Amino acid sequence: MGNPFADGSPAFAGEASIHTFYSEASWIEGAAIDQLRQVSQRVGVRRIAAFPDLHPGKYGPVGSAILATRLYPHLIGNDIGCGMSLFVLDIPARKLRLDKVAERLKALEGGFEGDAAARLTAAGLAPDLYPEALGTIGGGNHFCEVQGVESVADTQAFAALGLSRESTLLLVHSGSRALGSAVFDTIRDATDGLDGTHERATRYLRAHDAAVAWARLNRAVIAERAADALRTGCRLIADVPHNLIELHEGAFLHRKGAAKADIPVVPIAGSRDSASFLVRPTAAREDALFSLAHGAGRKYDRRSMTGRVGQTRSEREKLARNGSGGLVICDDRALLIEEAPAAYKNPLQVIRDLEQSGLVTTLATLKPLVTFKKSSPPDKRAEGTKRGHEKRRSRR
């Protein structure tokens, strides 16, 4: 894999500088580098930071932060506000029986039975803003994962967060569900981006901000539901969105699969069969556009996973477990294959590159114990989304 920007120095293509934070050892697809170049040549794009989880996306590079004087909703796509929230559960890992945890987490399959409208209102959102979807994980690679602590690199900093080797963590990856898609639908024709002063841009940004807040609340409700199912409590350690737009020095900072790094600690996901990490962003890094890798990043796209793994029954059975005895709950065979650990890059290399670039120090390495992935048949998924859109449209 060619890596023309491996030294971390800016390369210029068009007007924009591209800073990369990955080494030659990282797996970077040529198609992702092509996307970086294309974005760098777009009107108003000033600076780009690209991380070791970089991979090609539908509308642009995933694993990158892009500063532009023009607004590009397509760089973010439909899952506005998607992110990772890390919680600590009020139960030590040694007390967990994984088969029981797996059984109980199946409660996440259904909808949230609490007062969604009240939760939305309390979060400053309209009570009728997709209450039916609140607290649900969604498909794709969204997940809710119970994790143990594999090792602690900075005991003091870890303890300051109220965490120890004994802790049980819960990592929730989800976004704004059908709300984000509906917001994106309103702007889908704006493939050349928008002038930020235009009224359409203002309207999009208002709806975008609501979707970001909705996604954050969604992760919190998912965590509460998981903790309830496990008959315990939970406390937030960090909520870190990785698909969003923020204002930065009068320009638009687009993060697509790039974690916000201007917060104290950031979870970086691996896969359901590899380590995830809790890191501390080192300092305000303007060159990295105050961002970090958000995960391992895809090595193979979903479609190309079919045929690569899960060919035999025993291979499929293996996919429902991880290498260290952890469990995976996913009754959708296609999803199990599309999201197999082999679909992802090596998260250790991602962390090595971030550390070597001076962007993070690692606090702890976390290991997957039970991974819950939402799985409803594809026809139901499409139906749910369509229904959501129609409902919103009729309200407008």
Ligand X SMILES: Nc1nc2c(ncn2[C@@H]2O[C@H](COP(=O)(O)O)[C@@H](O)[C@H]2O)c(=O)[nH]1
Site of interaction with ligand X (CB under 6 A): 53, 62, 82, 141, 143, 145, 171, 173, 242, 257, 269-272, 276, 294-297, 339, 344, 368, 371
Distance (Å, rounded) from C-alpha 272 to C-alpha 318? Answer: 12
Distance (Å, rounded) from C-alpha 221 to C-alpha 233? Answer: 12
Residues comprising the chain, all counted: 396
Q: Is 294 a catalytic residue?
A: yes
Is 294 within any annotated ligand binding site?
yes
Stretch that binds Mn ion, among 77-85, 191-199, 316-324, 337-345 (CB under 5 A): 77-85
Distance (Å, rounded) from C-alpha 89 to C-alpha 391? Answer: 36
**149 touches Mn ion by CB under 5 A:** no
Q: Which is nearer to ligand X, 368 or 388 (CB)?
A: 368
Q: Which is nearer to ligand X, 17 or 141 (CB)?
A: 141
Is 208 within any annotated ligand binding site?
no
Q: Residue 281 binds which one of ligand X, Mn ion, none, with CB within 5 to 8 A depending on kind?
A: none
Q: Residue 368 binds which one of Mn ion, ligand X, none, with CB within 5 to 8 A depending on kind?
A: ligand X
Contacts 24+ apart (CB under 8 A), 191-196: 191/74, 192/43, 193/42, 193/43, 193/44, 193/68, 193/70, 193/71, 193/72, 193/73, 193/74, 194/70, 194/71, 194/72, 194/73, 195/70, 195/71, 196/69, 196/70, 196/71, 196/252
Is 151 within any annotated ligand binding site?
no
Amino acid, res. 108: L
* Closest by CA position to 99, among listed 363, 396, 326: 326
Give the tokens for residue 381: 């998924």
The strand pair at 258-260 and 291-293 is best described as: antiparallel
Q: Residue 270 binds which one of ligand X, Mn ion, none, with CB within 5 to 8 A depending on kind?
A: ligand X
**82 touches Mn ion by CB under 5 A:** yes
Per-residue interface string for the shown chain with Mn ion, residues 311-340, x marking contact by CB under 5 A: ------------------------------
Residue 258 zone, left/alpha/beta (φ > 0; ψ -120 to 50; rest) = beta
Q: Residue 297 binds which one of ligand X, Mn ion, none, with CB within 5 to 8 A depending on kind?
A: ligand X
Three-state DSSP state, 256: strand
Q: Which is nearer to Mn ion, 82 or 163 (CB)?
A: 82
Distance (Å, rounded) from C-alpha 9 to C-alpha 89? Answer: 42
Is 389 within any annotated ligand binding site?
no
**258 touches Mn ion by CB under 5 A:** no
363 close to 237: Cβ distance less than 8 angstroms: no
Span 15-74, contacts to Mn ion by CB under 5 A = none
Is 142 within any annotated ligand binding site?
yes
Q: Which of 74, 208, 254, 294 is catalytic?
A: 294
Is 145 within any annotated ligand binding site?
yes
Q: Which is nearer to ligand X, 17 or 26 (CB)?
A: 26
Distance (Å, rounded) from C-alpha 241 to C-alpha 175? Answer: 9
Q: Residue 339 binds which one of Mn ion, ligand X, none, with CB within 5 to 8 A depending on kind?
A: ligand X
Q: Residue 40 binds which one of Mn ion, ligand X, none, with CB within 5 to 8 A depending on kind?
A: none
Is 74 within any annotated ligand binding site?
no
Amino acid, res. 392: R
Amino acid, res. 311: Q
Annotation: binding site = 141-145, 173, 242-243, 276, 294-297, 373
Annotation: binding site for GMP = 141-145, 242-243, 276, 294-297, 373
> Mind telling me the catalytic residues?
294
Chain residues in the site for Mn ion (CB under 5 A): 82
